[in-house]
Amino acid sequence: MINKHLFRLFIIASIVAIALPGCKKETVGSVTGTITAYDPSNPLQKNPLASIRVYLVNMDFNLDMVNKGNNKAALIDSIYTDVNGKYSFTSLPEGAYSVHPFSSVYTYLFAIDNTWQSTEFSIAAGQTTHEINFTAPIPGGDNNTDSFTMTIISENRPTGAYIKIFRQTWMYFAIFLPKEVYKVTLDSESYSDQFGFTSGVYSYDNVWSMEAWENKSGQMTLVHTYALSWDLVGMPYKPQIYIDWKTQGMRIVE
């Protein structure tokens, strides 16, 4: 009987020790920021944007690349900016996160506007507070809907070889997806599109990847990949991309 009584006391004491504040510390943190847009009448001035929805995303989430609709579970929370363009997520436990602003009224295209050059951050010991600001980089605060023409020029292209062009897109819940936008089958071919823009729940960045496919022993085979990236305000209007199939090199003429 005494042994059973002591055993019960031990269990109760263990539970109390776990429950008591300070017995087990959990790191919690926060992320805050301000969202602005350039003033159309004064490109040097930024105005705060109210009612911009900011999404908090769990970057530890395992993406479902088959049923992409399941990825909405990666959304942890969302909040609207106040009249000063500010947002804040607090009491975040340890983990990896990202924040992404999205406007359902205006087609703003946001860029990071501080020294923290990423939408991603981590909450861990010693890194509990983060500030991530965004701004619409195009004067006037809206999308740059101008178009560009990208010309792909193949040198030493084998018969039947082709290049697939993918453009980086991301949905409003911040799941990045490469989307095939063009297939180049000739020695010189042009692909036209708009500069980085937002359409519905998709945003298109000025980030591309290209795949070179070649016939190897009767089967089309991926032989090389290339990456292209321009700033939202630095995208050239008529870039020429030279691909040398023999050396697998790439050069860009802007």
Mean pLDDT of the chain: 77
Q: State yes or no: pLDDT of 103 exceeds 60.
A: yes
- Write down which residue in 73, 101, 136 finishes a domain: 136
What SS3 string covers the chain? CHHHHHHHHHHHHHHHHHHCCCCCCCCEEEEEEEEEEEECCEEEEEEECCCCEEEEEECCCCCCCCCHHHHHHHEEEEEECCCCCEEEEEEEECEEEEEEEECCCCCCCCEECCCCCCCEEEEECCECEEECCEEECCCCCCCCCCEEEEEEEEECCCCCCEEEEEEEEEECCCCEEEEEEEEECCCEEEEEEECCEEECCEEEEEEEEEEEEEEECCEEEEEEEEEEECCCCCCCCCCEEEEECCCCEEEEEC
Whether residue 123 sits in one domain with residue 42: yes
Whether residue 170 sits in one domain with residue 231: yes
Output the pLDDT for position 18. Answer: 38
Residue 177's CATH number: 2.60.40
Q: State yes or no: pLDDT of 83 exceeds 90.
A: yes
Q: How far is CA 171 from CA 53, 71, 112, 197, 200, in A?
A: 14, 10, 17, 12, 9
- Write down which residue in 68, 103, 136 finishes a domain: 136
Whether residue 174 sits in one domain with residue 75: no
Q: Which residues contact 194 (CB under 8 A, 6 or more apart)?
A: 143, 144, 145, 146, 147, 148, 204
Whether residue 104 sits in one domain with residue 188: no
Mean pLDDT of 183-205: 77
Residue 3 inside a domain? The answer is: no
Evaluate whether 225 touches 240 at the Cβ level (below 8 Å).
no
- Of 16, 47, 45, residue with least CA distance to 34: 47
Q: What are the beta bridge partners of residue 129?
A: 30
Token pair listed for 150:
């990208």
Whether residue 154 sits in one domain with residue 131: no
The pLDDT confidence band at residue 199, using thresholds 50, 70 and 90, is low
Residue 17 inside a domain? The answer is: no
Residue 114 inside a domain? The answer is: yes
Residue 2 inside a domain? The answer is: no
Angle among Cα 163, 228, 113 to the nearest 5 degrees reads: 150
Output the pLDDT for position 229. Answer: 82
- Write down which residue in 136, 160, 194 finishes a domain: 136
State which residues form the domain around 129. 25-136
Residue 131's CATH number: 2.60.40.10
- Of 65, 64, 59, residue with least CA distance to 99: 59
pLDDT, tens digit, 9 for 90 and up, residues 118-164: 788 888 876 688 899 988 764 433 445 578 899 999 999 999 999 99
**Number of compact structural domains in the chain:** 2
Residue 69 main-chain phi, psi, to 5 deg: -65, -25
* Global confidence as pTM: 0.50
Whether residue 117 sits in one domain with residue 62: yes
Whether residue 198 sits in one domain with residue 128: no
